[in-house]
Amino acid sequence: MERNYLSAAYITHALLKRWLAEPPLDSSLRHIVFTASTAALVSVPGYAAYAPTKAATRALADTLRQEVLLYQSQQDIRIHCTFPGTIYTESFWQEQAKKPALCKELEGSDKEGSGLSAKRVAEEIISGLKHGHFFITMDGETALLLNNMRGPSPRDSPVWDWLVGLLASLIWPIYRMKFDRKTIKYGKNLISKGRK
């Protein structure tokens, strides 16, 4: 929790306090990019300590994306969250030596070429930023999980749950836009009251 979630939360808190305390030097856009993981979207035995911290990181990014809208009239700050799968780093290879075989099999890290280099992940993140994406995925499987957001968790009534999910996918974007507009308006009102 300290390494994956709290460090991101504390660093972001300090950064936002600093950015918002001082007027920006120019009108340039500022970005904060969180790194979650495909594990934030799907449960795999062996990741009981890891996956919840990445799901919390995704939730933090989702919440902050809307909260920074309060300050949009002051500064344009964008929050993003990335979902890389396997990244071939020295830490990954050390982890592989201790990881249970079932975990490797289910996540696919037992197959050669199932991951990306850190450089490739960075390129995918930059590409996502250039396209203005809030959630940035590195592969089709993660994009599918993200867009299903429920992931592979069991469904109580598959047909009903699917229909409700379909309905939600049509309704929630409208509510999200309403929430965003209300947040921006609320932030403008707070700032104008503070200046009086």
What is the CATH number for 62?
3.40.50.720
Q: Do 144 and 167 reside in the same domain of the chain?
A: no
Q: Which of 5, 47, 54, 104 is catalytic?
A: 54
Taking the whole predicted model, whether its pTM rises above 0.85 is answered as no
**52/64 Cα distance (integer angstroms):** 18
169 close to 149: Cβ distance less than 8 angstroms: no
- Identify the residue whose tokens are 């390494």: 3
pLDDT tens string 43-74: 788 899 999 999 999 999 999 999 999 988 88
pLDDT tens string 123-136: 999 999 999 999 99
pLDDT (average), residues 13-28: 85
pLDDT (average), residues 87-116: 84
Q: Do 77 and 172 reside in the same domain of the chain?
A: no
- Identify the residue whose tokens are 């306090």: 17
- Give the number of residues written for the chain: 196
Q: Do 15 and 93 reside in the same domain of the chain?
A: yes
- Identify the residue whose tokens are 């809030």: 134
User: So what's the pLDDT on residue 138?
Assistant: 92
Active site residue 54: yes
Amino acid letter, residue 60: L
Host domain of residue 193:
155-196
Q: Which of 5, 17, 47, 50 is catalytic?
A: 50
Active site residue 50: yes
Residue 84 burial class via C-beta count within 10 angstroms: exposed 0-12, middle 13-18, buried 19 and up: buried
Question: How are the residues of the chain apportioned to helix, strand and coil, as percentages rounded to the nearest 5?
Answer: 60, 10, 30
User: So what's the pLDDT on residue 165?
Assistant: 80
Q: Do 118 and 184 reside in the same domain of the chain?
A: no
Read off the DSSP letter of residue 109.
Answer: T
Q: Do 131 and 165 reside in the same domain of the chain?
A: no
**40/58 Cα distance (integer angstroms):** 7
